[in-house]
């Protein structure tokens, strides 16, 4: 079993909206980049006439972190026991880990099944509920050492801006 490294991030939505969001890096790569890689061919099939640069910009902007104030208890949420409003809007047993960049997570959530054991936390079965025909996305499973996972969750890296902002702005 390969064990990944997770890093939880807190950063403001924008300079105008200082409310922090929860972002995630797996093995030093933003989860939104993993999601872009997993959906690139699916979007290409749906929108074959979109220019490659517009598609790449869209892929990196299709998700954002979850608003800090909405999650409530991040320890419960990211250990697979989300607040009822998150659980009700997702597939059975799935937890939203990214949301829509509009700020309403339900618009376009990235869902995963979070399985917790005494030694590990595993994220698997990633799905986009509004594209049932996509099925399970080719992401993960990602397995983390539970002690390192809980430590990362308890001490998120605080950033002054979205870590993908520079990359998103520079995409041609």
Per-residue pLDDT reduced to its tens digit, 15-30: 666 688 999 999 999 9
Per the domain annotation, does 151 fall within a domain?
A: yes
Helix axes 52-61, 31-46, angle to 10 degrees: 130
In a domain, 140, yes or no: yes
Quote the pLDDT of residue 169: 46
Is residue 10 within 8 Å of 23, Cβ to Cβ? yes
Pairing of strands 20-26, 6-12: antiparallel
CB 120 within 8 A of CB 114: no
pLDDT, residue 170, reads: 43
Q: Which domain holds residue 57?
A: 6-170
Contact by Cβ (8 Å): 9, 163: yes
> Does the residue 41 lie in any domain?
yes
Residue 1 belongs to a domain: no
Count of domains forming the chain: 1
pLDDT of residue 88: 56
Summarize pLDDT for 110-160 with one digit per residue, the tens. 999 999 999 999 999 999 999 999 999 999 999 999 999 999 999 999 999
CA atoms of 4 and 18, how far apart (whole Å): 30
pLDDT in tens, 34-87: 999 999 999 989 888 989 889 899 999 999 999 888 888 999 999 998 877 776
Instruction: Give pLDDT, residue 92.
Output: 66
pLDDT of residue 52: 87
Assess if residue 97 is contained within a domain. Answer: yes
Backbone φ and ψ for 109, nearest 5 degrees, come out as -80, 150
- In-domain check, residue 126: yes
Q: What integer pLDDT is reported at residue 172 of this predicted model?
A: 41
Spatial neighbors of 2 by CB under 8 A, at least 6 apart, are: 143
Per the domain annotation, does 86 fall within a domain?
A: yes
Instruction: Please report the pLDDT score of residue 13 as a whole number.
Output: 79
2 or 169, which is more confident = 2
Contact 91, 106 (CB under 8 A): no
């Amino acid at each position: 079993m390969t064990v990944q490294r997770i890093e939880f991030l807190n950063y403001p939505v924008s300079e105008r909206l200082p409310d922090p969001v929860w972002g995630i890096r797996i093995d030093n790569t933003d989860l939104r980049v993993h999601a872009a890689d997993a959906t690139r061919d699916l979007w290409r099939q749906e929108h074959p006439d979109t220019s490659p640069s517009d598609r790449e910009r869209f892929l990196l902007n299709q998700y954002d972190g979850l608003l800090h104030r909405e999650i409530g208890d991040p320890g419960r949420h990211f250990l697979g026991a989300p607040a009822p409003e998150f659980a009700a809007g997702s597939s059975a047993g799935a937890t939203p880990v990214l949301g829509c960049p509009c700020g309403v997570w339900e618009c376009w959530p990235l869902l995963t099944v979070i399985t917790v054991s005494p030694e590990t936390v595993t994220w698997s079965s990633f799905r986009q509920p509004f594209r049932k025909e996509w099925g399970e996305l080719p992401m993960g499973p990602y397995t983390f050492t539970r002690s390192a996972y809980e430590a990362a969750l308890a001490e998120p890296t605080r950033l002054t801006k979205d870590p993908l902002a520079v990359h998103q702005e520079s995409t041609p």
